[in-house]
Amino acid sequence: MAKPPKRIDPEAQLAADMRELMGYAAFRRFLFTMMGRSGISSVAYGSEVATSYSEGRRSLGIEMLRLADETLSVKTTDGFPFAAMAFITNEALRSQPQEQTDHDQDDEDFSIERR
């Protein structure tokens, strides 16, 4: 008789998945984009529907950063995902195309043709 498949704890699986995903630069850049689009830097107060919608987006963005933060070895004691934010921001800034200087342009104009 076949054994039933072993059940995996969903929280343990999520933690393992986040550890793996945080190892990918593309995922860190995705989280940086999500950070901006979720509006985590804004504060939503009031009772209007639009305010509730904004607060929901913000809360989800913060929760995703907390999941990412839990995978890192450095954490803050206050529970805010600042380590993850720094790690993700560093990746996004590192991968941004840099402005070209005049010196760089000179190098492109000069090429050695091989025969």
- Among residues 41, 47, 18, the alpha carbon closest in space to that of 30 is found at 18
pLDDT of residue 56: 87
Q: What is the largest CA-CA distance in the chain?
A: 74
The pTM of this model reads 0.70
Residue recorded with tokens 């809360």: 59
pLDDT digits (tens, 9 = 90+) for 34-92: 999 998 887 767 667 778 888 888 899 999 999 999 999 887 778 789 999 999 999 99
Residues 69 and 62 sit within 8 Å (Cβ to Cβ): no
